[in-house]
């Protein structure tokens, strides 16, 4: 465990106005156990870690939201950016590029999002999921930036191995070179729903304009992809944050609600922009 457990307990005790005895009683532990935790002479087991963060969230104390606000102020003051990384199982040590998967939106890299909500939502379904708050200093690095447009759609499709029959296209090669010559990429986030839409564009079912407006409707936020060791040296893990089951359930519900709205927006966009734009064969011929 590498959560800031002792510090979190101190914050919660103060926010709830509890005595140490009352807090120990609430968690069904002894005063000596609490003292050991606070002094960090003993680490709690997984069951007690989970019980503490469930108790905290049930009392209306949203520790991760508080930390988000505090870190936002700190990173802004030092000309940095606060980003978020949702992890299914946790990170051992510092993140590196050795174990990065190739078939991601922009190839191997360390992926972060610009909103805490997005990072949690992507991993909330996993039992051991957790959240990392990350500071990034972009000074002196080469950046490649995309928006929800044709370039972004084609680039994601290329790195997802969806453009094998068009890999020799000058347009595709030029887009790949933009990414390969950068230290980090800033781009809209793509999820499974977006891949379905991009697939329809690649299969010739949607024009680029239809696809672009359908993808804009999903509005998942922005991702930062760190692709080089130079970029990784300017990434700092600020804190590993626990996600209680109740908190994860809340974000999963939020994801389902947003999915329903986005699904309807996609249907409207698909119809509204019918017959506008070009099909992929016309673009890459």
- The bridge status of strand 110-113 relative to strand 130-136 is unpaired
The three-point CA angle 255-256-258 to 5° equals 65
pLDDT of residue 264: 77
pLDDT of residue 194: 77
Q: For domain 5-58, which CATH number applies: 1.10.260, 3.20.20, 1.10.3470, 1.10.287?
A: 1.10.260
Q: Half-sphere exposure of residue 21, counting CA atoms within 13 Å on the CB side?
A: 0
The confidence score (pLDDT) of residue 218 equals 66
Cα–Cα distance measured from residue 46 to residue 70, given in angstroms and rounded to the nearest whole number: 27
Residue 203, phi-psi category: left (phi > 0), alpha (psi -120 to 50), beta (remainder): alpha
Q: For residue 263, what pLDDT is reported?
A: 75
Rounded to an integer, what distance in angstroms lies between the CA atom of residue 280 and that of residue 285? 8
End-to-end distance of the chain based on CA atoms, in angstroms? 54
For position 59, what pLDDT does the model report? 95
In the predicted model, residues of the chain with pLDDT beneath 70 are: 1, 217-219, 261
Q: What is the pLDDT of residue 203?
A: 86
- CA-to-CA distance for 245 and 232, rounded, in angstroms? 31
Instruction: Describe the strand order of the beta sheet including 143-145 as a list of residue ranges.
Output: 143-145, 184-188, 222-226, 110-113, 81-87, 130-136, 235-242
Q: Where are the domains of the chain?
A: 5-58, 64-284
Q: How far apart are CA 244 and CA 236, in angstroms?
A: 24
pLDDT at residue 219, as a whole number: 65
Query: What pLDDT is attached to residue 217?
Result: 66
Q: pLDDT (tens digit, 9 = 90+) per residue, 219-240?
A: 678 999 999 999 999 999 999 9
* pTM for the full predicted model: 0.90
Burial class (CB in 10 A: 0-12, 13-18, 19+), 178: middle
SS3 string, the chain, reads CCCCHHHHHHHHHHHHCCCHHHHHHHHCCCHHHHHHHHHCCCCCCHHHHHHHHHHHHHCCCCHHHHHHHHHHHHHHHCCCEEEEEEECCCCCCCCCCCCCCCCCECECCEEEECCHHHHHHHHCCCCCCEEEEEEECCCCCCEEECCCCHHHHHHHHHHCCCCHHHCCCHHHHHHHHHHHCCCEEEEECCCHHHHHHHHHHHCCCCCHHHHHHHHHHHCCCEEEEECCHHHHCCEEEEEEEECCHHHHHHHHHHHHHHHHHHHHHHHHHHHHCCCCCCCHHHHHC
pLDDT the model gives residue 153? 86
């Amino acid at each position: 465990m590498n959560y800031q457990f002792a510090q979190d307990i101190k914050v919660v005790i103060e926010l709830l106005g509890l005595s140490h005895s009352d807090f120990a009683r609430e968690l069904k532990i002894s005063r000596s156990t609490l003292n050991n935790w606070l002094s960090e002479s003993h680490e709690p087991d997984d069951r007690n870690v989970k019980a503490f963060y469930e108790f905290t969230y049930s009392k209306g104390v949203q520790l991760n939201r508080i930390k988000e606000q505090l870190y936002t102020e700190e990173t802004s003051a030092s000309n940095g950016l606060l980003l978020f990384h949702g992890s299914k199982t946790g990170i051992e040590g510092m993140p590196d590029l050795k174990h990065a998967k190739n078939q991601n939106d922009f190839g191997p890299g360390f992926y972060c999002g610009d909103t805490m909500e997005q990072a949690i939502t992507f991993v909330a379904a996993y039992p051991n999921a957790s959240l990392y708050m990350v500071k990034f200093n972009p000074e002196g690095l080469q950046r490649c930036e995309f928006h929800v447009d044709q370039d972004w759609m084609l680039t994601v499709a290329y790195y997802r191995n969806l453009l094998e029959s068009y890999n020799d296209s000058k347009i595709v090669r030029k887009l790949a070179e933009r990414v390969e010559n950068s230290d980090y990429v800033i781009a809209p986030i793509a999820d499974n729903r977006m891949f379905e839409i991009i697939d329809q564009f690649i299969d010739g079912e949607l024009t680029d304009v239809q696809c672009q407006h359908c993808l804009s409707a999903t509005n998942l936020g922005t991702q930062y992809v760190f692709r080089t060791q130079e970029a990784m040296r300017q990434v700092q893990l600020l804190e590993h944050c626990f996600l209680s089951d109740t908190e994860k359930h809340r974000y999963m519900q939020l994801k389902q609600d947003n999915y329903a709205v986005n699904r309807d927006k996609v249907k409207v966009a698909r119809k509204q922009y019918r017959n506008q734009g070009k099909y992929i064969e016309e673009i890459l011929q």
